[in-house]
Structure 1
Amino acid sequence: MSIFPAIDQALEAFASFVWGPPLLVLLVGGGLALLIYSRGRPYRHLGHSIGLLSGRYDDPNDPGQVNHSQALSTALSGTLGLGNISGVAIAITIGGPGAIFWMWITALVGVATKFYTATLAVMFRGCDASGELQGGPMYVIREGLGQRWMPLAVLFAVAGLCGMLPVFQSNQTTQLLRESFAEPLGWVAPGGSLTFDFVIGLLIAVASAYVIAGRIQRIGKFSARVVPGMVLLYLGMTLVVIASFWEQVPAAFALIFSDAFSGQAIAGGTLGSVITVGVSRGAFSNEAGIGTESLAHGAAKTREPVREGVVAMLGPIVDTLVICTCTALVILLTGAWQQEGDIAGVTLTAQAFSQVFGQFGPILLLLMVLPLAFSTIVTCWYYGMKCYVFLFGGRWQGLYTWLYMILIVLGAVASLSAVNSIIIGMYAVMAVPTMVSTLLLARHVNRAAHAYFTRMEVAKREGAEASQ
């Protein structure tokens, strides 16, 4: 329960306002426009991403800080995790099962959006205050659109500083530990303990500081080692649950599709509210059009911007179409979403797994949540630091890191409502400069994509002729 209800209500009102119809049109409509403008060409080359991730095209002498696979792992570590677990639960709680359908829509058009934003992040890289090559929406705007568009770049960087706060991850990780372990074991009284939350937040902050000390190189290596294994573990858990209720799977999908256009599954539900919740949670999950993923993809070692765009397209597919769908099915099939009581966020997902795994459900979920939430926290520090340096230069970077550590602890003791509203609201603000600049510069991506894929097709044809 929040100790500042007035602040919670104000933040909820802010999030609802910025996620109004204009932004929904910009994100979904803009992504659809990019899909049509590209004539679907990026979708036809998804298979090329496998070759890129295998390292076949890597050159250590190329500009950038991390290779393609590390860039994707870093971007995924910023999206995979509590956004897929707690975020989906929040979407169903607030918007009903139909919200999942609109999350799918954001992913389908988000494939095209990420191709353009990641390509631009490499194409229009710029140097920061220390002379290091950087990518991201603020550099795309500065280098691609010029100085007269700098207010848009500043807007993204300011929103990024707030939207990349670690409060959501620390809040939901602490909630899972407290409600699934500390309270049942009698360590804390039901209803929570500020002391317990503070200690957990402090431990997360100390561990994060160690990885953050290695900057993007250590974050990239950590993410590449942790993310794939945790994703496979989570998918295995969800498949066991889905298999246990396999006869009800068609009905669950039918409920998602029917509620997507009715909103009847939520009290006072309307179609607009379902769409808003689905699109906002989908954007929070896969970050297509938000611009945060461009901060990671812009660090890729490559001289071919289109290559990183192709790699980035895998993000919405893995994140939303696969993992979020599995989470949604677990919650719907077990009936956890219809249970009485004030159950929200990661606790709802934990209860859903308990329907099949019993008391081991929360334990198995925790084994997956902790590494992914941790990787998201350190990745968001990297994103926030890039925004900080863009705004203030290289001065007092240590101050930002210390403030970030403090916010990890504060997030652990804050209310879920306030935390959710702050992050979702700032994601909406970030989407405006990202989508506007992407649509204005899309022609550069089309030209580069045409040249790159034409070279690929010619090389493939020549290789086939030489082998005959």
Structure 2
Amino acid sequence: MEKLDSFIADMSSIAWGLPLLIILIGGGIYLLIRIRFLPFRYLGHAISVLRGKYDDENDEGEITHFQALMTALSSTVGMGNIAGVAVAIAIGGPGAVFWMWVSAVIGMSTKFFTATLAILYRGKDSEGKVQGGPMYFIIEGLGKKWMPMAMLFSIAGLVGALPVFNVNQLTQAINDILLKPAGLYSGFKTDLLIGLVLAAITAVVILGGLSRISKTASKMVPAMVLLYFILVLIILGVNIDVVPKYLSLIFTDAFSANFYKGDTFLGGLVGGIILLGIRRGAFSNEAGIGTAPMAHGAAKTNEPIREGLVAMLGPAIDTLVICTLTALAILVTGVWQSSDANGVSLTASAFGESIPYVGKYALLACIAVFSISSLFSYSYYGSKCMSFIFGAKNKGIYNYFYIISILLGATTSLSMMINLIDTFFALMAIPTMTATIILAPKVIKQAKIYFSKLKDAKNK
């Protein structure tokens, strides 16, 4: 098992090398400059679209703008925000958070482009149903000769969409917060039992299809985000005297890397902390990876730019708000220096430190909802990849592999699971970003037309 763990870690390091950093971050900056920050000027309009002001039941698609964003957020708002941030701080210190922020701002632009393309170049599956996502906008926008790239995305998506990291960390949280203190933990058997329960819950929802997934996510996610927000505000209130110090340290440490304990990159520690922050940011908000466009591509709209604007809100909510809350909770309580815990256990220590008795259990409730809602969304992404490769009639087969993989995630190590998903996320990002950069002029043209019409309507 150690050799396999080491092999997967090496794969992850190779996948997240300089070429991917250039295409993911360099490509995102290129898109931001090409669009001249235009979508950022219409955040208010994006919120109006999200609230349903422009919904039309007669438009093509399966779900509303709001349901599309909640489905996408239910996969991104999860362990990346709670355990992923803790991993970043444990290895990189406060400075890693700054580079997660950079990744989020760039990611907002990337999400705008990829979600717009998901609507602009929707394709049809083997049953003739309209579908959206990178695999479809690659072949519809660039032509059938790009099929190998669409297949690369879909094959990588079969593994990248597996829920192993979320399940691994939810299992760890249940054990550390609930079972071990009560003396009920008995090793592998307990982990397997948790995995079986999660597999059963997931099966009930995902076998009901996208409609059930989106309706469940749209109810679960907002309530838990609000609860999590309140809990962290309590922690910040208890430690208000040190909040300014750590906010300042996030900025200064980003360029000094004084607390960084990982591998160097481009010959230095600062390069290492930049890569760490970007990896964890990408893992959290998935901008440029290509998962969210599969959800946004199912939205009921005939205006691609509208869905791009809604999708752009995702990284802002996910990374700029929720990841920052987690980071501050870990930093101001001091557990990142006083505890040897990592992942979700480090976050739990922060909550237990400032909110005795109740904190850890309230966090566990948030973790459970975030993780379980992520399980629902990722199954949809994986089945869409399965449908593209093997035909729509076979997409349901993926759900059974998916449910079995929950047991794997519950019973294996954190490092193996996070490196496995990192590797396949990297492989998904290559075709997604390549196609997005090539098709960027088409999005810019659509944006100019849409925003011009919007301006004319306001002036009337």
Q: Is the TM value for this pair above 0.5? A: yes
Tell me which amino acid in the other structure corresponds to 1:348.
L
Q: Secondary structure at the match of 1:112?
A: helix
**Once superposed, what is the RMSD of the aligned Cα atoms?**
1.1
Q: Partners in 2 of 1:408 and 1:287 — Cα distance? A: 21
Q: Offset at 1:399?
A: 2.7
Question: 295-304 vs 22-31, which deviates more?
Answer: 22-31
- Residue aligning to 2:382: 384
Q: Secondary structure at the match of 2:288?
A: coil
Q: Offset at 1:183?
A: 0.8
- Residue aligning to 1:368: 366
Question: 356-365 vs 415-424, which deviates more?
Answer: 356-365
Q: Partners in 2 of 1:397 and 1:408 — Cα distance? A: 18
Q: Partners in 2 of 1:267 and 1:321 — Cα distance? A: 24
Q: Secondary structure at the match of 2:309?
A: helix
Q: Partners in 2 of 1:254 and 1:27 — Cα distance? A: 27
For 1:63-462, what aligned pairs fall within 5 Å after superposition?
Answer: 63-188=60-185, 193-267=187-261, 270-341=269-340, 343-462=341-460
Q: Partners in 1 of 2:303 and 2:8 — Cα distance? A: 42
- Residue aligning to 1:466: none
Q: Offset at 1:205?
A: 0.7
Contact 2:92 2:261 in 1 (8 A): no
Q: Secondary structure at the match of 1:45?
A: helix
Deviations 1:232-268 (A, max 9, x none): 0001101111111112112112221122112220336
Q: Partners in 1 of 2:23 and 2:396 — Cα distance? A: 36
Q: Partners in 1 of 2:195 and 2:25 — Cα distance? A: 36
Contact 2:348 2:363 in 1 (8 A): yes
Q: Which runs of 4+ in 1 moved over 4 A?
A: none
Contact 2:232 2:326 in 1 (8 A): yes
Q: Partners in 2 of 1:51 and 1:98 — Cα distance? A: 35
Contact 2:305 2:447 in 1 (8 A): yes
Tell me which amino acid in the other structure corresponds to 2:177.
S
| 1:14 to 2:11 alignment | yes
Deviations 1:3-35 (A, max 9, x none): x11111111111111111221121111111111
Q: Secondary structure at the match of 2:289?
A: coil
Deviations 1:386-438 (A, max 9, x none): 00110111343343211111101111001101000001111111111111100
Q: TM-score, normalised by structure 2?
A: 0.97
Q: Offset at 1:273?
A: 1.3
Q: Secondary structure at the match of 1:385?
A: helix
Question: 355-364 vs 68-77, which deviates more?
Answer: 355-364
Tell me which amino acid in the other structure corresponds to 1:77.
S
Q: Secondary structure at the match of 2:201?
A: helix
Q: Partners in 2 of 1:203 and 1:273 — Cα distance? A: 39
Q: Secondary structure at the match of 1:250?
A: helix
Q: Offset at 1:339?
A: 2.1
Q: Offset at 1:213?
A: 1.9
Contact 2:91 2:261 in 1 (8 A): no
Q: Partners in 1 of 2:261 and 2:30 — Cα distance? A: 34
Q: Partners in 1 of 2:271 and 2:19 — Cα distance? A: 12
Q: Partners in 1 of 2:155 and 2:394 — Cα distance? A: 17
Contact 2:383 2:396 in 1 (8 A): no
Deviations 1:68-124 (A, max 9, x none): 000000010010011100010011112222111111001111111111000000000
Q: Secondary structure at the match of 2:80?
A: helix
Q: Partners in 2 of 1:396 and 1:384 — Cα distance? A: 12
Q: Secondary structure at the match of 1:299?
A: coil
Tell me which amino acid in the other structure corresponds to 2:205.
V
Contact 2:154 2:386 in 1 (8 A): yes
Q: Secondary structure at the match of 2:43?
A: coil
Q: Partners in 2 of 1:399 and 1:23 — Cα distance? A: 31
Aligned residues: percent identity?
Answer: 50
Quickly say closer, same or farther: Cα 1:184–1:273, change in 2 above 3 A.
Answer: same
Q: Partners in 2 of 1:273 and 1:339 — Cα distance? A: 23
Contact 2:386 2:394 in 1 (8 A): no
Match of 2:37 among 36, 40, 46: 40
Q: Secondary structure at the match of 1:243?
A: helix
Q: Partners in 1 of 2:282 and 2:321 — Cα distance? A: 15
Q: Secondary structure at the match of 2:425?
A: helix
Q: Secondary structure at the match of 2:367?
A: helix
Q: Partners in 2 of 1:398 and 1:316 — Cα distance? A: 30
**Gapped runs of 5+ residues in structure 1?**
463-468
Tell me which amino acid in the other structure corresponds to 2:114.
T
Q: Offset at 1:322?
A: 0.6
Q: TM-score, normalised by structure 1?
A: 0.96
Q: Partners in 2 of 1:18 and 1:261 — Cα distance? A: 25
Q: Secondary structure at the match of 1:303?
A: coil
Q: Partners in 2 of 1:418 and 1:363 — Cα distance? A: 27
Q: Partners in 2 of 1:27 and 1:242 — Cα distance? A: 33
Q: Partners in 2 of 1:232 and 1:258 — Cα distance? A: 30
Deviations 1:258-285 (A, max 9, x none): 2211222033661121111100000011
